[in-house]
Amino acid sequence: MENNNPFPEESAEIRELLRMYRNLREGRPGSFLEEEDFEKLILHFDEQENLKEAFRVAETGLSIFPYSALLYLKKADLLLTDRKYEQALEILDEVELLDASSSELVILKTEAYLALDQQEKAIPLLEDALTRFEGQERIELLFELSDVYDDYEQFDKVFDCLKIILEEDPINEEALYKICFWTDYTGRNEESIRLHNKIIDQFPYTELAWFNLGAAYQGLKLFEKAIDAYLYCVAIDEKFDYAYRNMGDAYIRMRKYREAIEMLEKVVELSPPEDVIFKAIAYCYEKLKQPAQARLYYRKASHLSPDDGQLYYKIACTYIDEGKHANAVKQLRQALKINRKNSDYNMAMGYALMGVEDFQQAMEHFVSVADMRPKSEKGWCGVLDCLAQVQNWKQVGITAEMAYQATGKKPVFLIYQAISGLTTGKVKQGLLLLEEAMQKSPKMVRKLIEINPSLLQYPQVVDFLAKHKRSRKKKS
């Protein structure tokens, strides 16, 4: 059947009002509209972004109802939309003479003052109005005041407004959503806990109150209490994905990685895929020393964020953990395409290339790190480890001396110099350097064995280490 309705999205009521309005405009007899009818037509044209016609309806209505506060308010609202703030204020002053009891009048005046950057008038206007209104109108004014405080960065007062709303209307959904953010932002977790406990005492099946209670405990690092609150939240609403998300975070902070994975997998079931969730799951598997599982989730994250070099780096690290250095090299090439200057990517690439015995390229990456961060020991250690792998002990000594000076005389480079001396026949010098390193950091003996375990075949080295061990026992 053919549809002859030229306004298919309009309700039958609006179509009838439009017909009557056209008849009225054309002067046909028997056409009469009430104030509320004009209001509905103004809203209709406003929603269609047809301001010109909305103004025309308002003017027509005011010609019939010249003392209508309702229609003047609608006209002022249209003027605000049209950015004619001074004209809107003039209209609103007229409305105040007709009817000062409307909360909408206060809200529109506030918007006009804020648009004119006159917050010194907006805030007192709202604060005064709060003493004159109650119920839902007072709630709306409190929301308006909270937005004004937000605009002018009085954030504690935003929290105060939301707290008052919830004290008067404990299950106001908008306020419950907003106060969670502002609790975290202002750090007023103790107040939030007291407030939400009161709400829960009155309305125990309010899942948002339980969630906010959990978030406040989490803000105080009381993770077990936070999890208890979140569990009540999901008992009421088993699809409350943010509660599972926060439980996952709490379990991670408690180092309960299996429980964290369980919660985060629930988020994956309930929400559209997010790289941040996949990364969190991968991190948990890393901590559980399950590199293959970690890699699976880092890959899922990389499919969502293909330009995030950190994800290719993380995948590479899982391969390095498994000794699959060739696979790691491929991933690190992707990471370095995105950011060649990242020191972590270059360090990992250096060690991955050492794993496939490409020492020349490995050296280039380590040198790059040392150039980027000359005061950090990481890049220098990479260069020295690479030289040690090819047993270029003379160059180890020269480079270790450079690194020692560049990094502010870190004792680890004395160990490299000592190894260089011991392996190139400068045994006395090597032992002196070894002693100096051990005095500065007794744990350096582990580094010595790690770099060149064959030194334990040198009688002088074995005697020195035994003497050092006895000396430490006497001191302890």
Q: How far apart are CA 69 and CA 393, in angstroms?
A: 93
Q: Which domains does the chain have, with CATH numbers?
A: 154-237 (1.25.40.10), 403-476 (no CATH)
Residue 366 pLDDT more than 90? Answer: yes
Average pLDDT over residues 15-27: 74
CA 410 to CA 217: how far, in whole Å?
Answer: 42
What is the reported pLDDT for 417? 95
CA-to-CA distance for 313 and 311, rounded, in angstroms?
5
Answer for the pair 66, 93: CB distance below 8 angstroms, yes or no.
Answer: no
Distance CA 244, CA 408 (A): 47
Measured distance CA(199)–CA(213) in Å, rounded: 10
Q: Is the confidence at residue 457, as pLDDT, over 90? A: no
- Going from the C-alpha of 41 to that of each of 11, 36, 171, the distances in angstroms are 12, 9, 34
The model's pLDDT over 47-95, given as tens digits with 9 standing for 90+, comes to: 777 778 776 777 777 677 878 777 777 777 777 777 877 777 777 777 7
- Token pair listed for 352: 């991955």
pLDDT tens per residue across span 187-230: 999 999 999 999 999 999 999 999 999 999 999 999 999 999 99
Distance from chain centroid for Cα 224? 22
Contact present, 90 and 57 (Cβ < 8 Å)? no
Lowest mean pLDDT among 96-110, 304-318, 369-383: 96-110
Over 60: is that where the pLDDT of 9 sits? no
Q: Number of helices and strands (H, E) in the chain? A: 27, 0
Closest to 363 in 3D by CA, of 345, 340, 343, 347: 347
Mean pLDDT of the chain: 88
Contacts of 104 (CB under 8 A, 6+ apart): 73
Q: What percent of the chain has pLDDT over 90?
A: 59
Q: Which amino acid is at 314?
A: K
- Which tokens sit at 420? 């260089």
The one-character DSSP state at 456 is G
Angle in degrees, 0-180, between the axes of helices 393-406 and 377-389, rounded to the nearest 10: 170
Using an 8 Å Cβ cutoff, are 91 and 105 in contact? no
Please give the model's pTM, rounded to 2 decimal places: 0.80
DSSP string, 346-361: HHHHHHHHHHTT-HHH
Name the burial class of residue 87, with classes exposed (0-12), middle (13-18) and buried (19+) by CB atoms within 10 angstroms of its CB. middle
Sorted by sequence, the CB contacts under 8 Å of residue 399 that are 6+ apart come out as 380, 383, 384, 387, 416
What confidence score (pLDDT) does residue 255 get? Answer: 97
